[in-house]
């Protein structure tokens, strides 16, 4: 079974803190994604990576950055957390195009106070 593991399920951080969300996949997928999930808005893509050290902005990249130093690991970084970044963050991975399945982690609940 494909496994996408997010290291932290629940985090509480203070405004202005730097926050790291880590994600690891075990299926040698080229593509990895970070989505943000908010009620009524569904999932919105923050960033994705199609190879090591390669990244592309998604729909809502402002306030976030990412790092992919190894193929299996994709990190989301909040340089200076703000209360409007309180949300559920979902990591995902998958192979290339043509409708291949994208697999999701269990999510990380981030609360910024």
Partner 1 sequence: AQTVTQSQPEMSVQEAETVTLSCTYDTSENNYYLFWYKQPPSRQMILVIRQEAYKQQNATENRFSVNFQKAAKSFSLKISDSQLGDTAMYFCAFMKAAGNKLTFGGGTRVLVKP
Residues making contact with partner 1 (CB under 8 A): 31, 33, 35, 40-45, 48, 50, 58, 88, 90, 92, 94, 96-102, 104-107
Coil/strand/helix, residue 83: helix
6 or 80: CB nearest partner 1: 6
Coil/strand/helix, residue 80: coil
14 or 57: CB nearest partner 1: 57
In the block, residue with structure tokens 């509480």: 12
Q: How far apart are CB 79 and partner 1 at their closest, in Å?
A: 23
Q: How far apart are CB 104 and partner 1 at their closest, in Å?
A: 4
28 or 40: CB nearest partner 1: 40
17 or 71: CB nearest partner 1: 71
Buried b / exposed e over 45-81, threshold 16 CB at 10 Å, is bbbbbeeeeebeebeeeeebebbbeeebbbbbebeeb
In the block, residue with structure tokens 């893509």: 45
Q: How far apart are CB 50 and partner 1 at their closest, in Å?
A: 7
Q: How far apart are CB 16 and partner 1 at their closest, in Å?
A: 28
Residue 5 contacts residue 93 (beta carbons within 8 Å): no
């Amino acid at each position: 079974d494909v496994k996408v593991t997010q290291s932290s399920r629940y985090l509480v951080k203070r405004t202005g803190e730097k926050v790291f969300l880590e994600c690891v996949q075990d299926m040698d997928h080229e593509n990895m994604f970070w989505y943000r999930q908010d009620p009524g808005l569904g999932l919105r893509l923050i960033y994705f990576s199609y190879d090591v050290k390669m990244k592309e902005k998604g729909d809502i990249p402002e306030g976030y950055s990412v790092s992919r130093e190894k193929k299996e690991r994709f990190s989301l970084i909040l340089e200076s957390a703000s209360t409007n970044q309180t949300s559920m963050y979902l990591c995902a991975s998958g192979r290339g195009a043509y409708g291949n399945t994208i697999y999701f982690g269990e999510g990380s609940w981030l609360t910024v106070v």
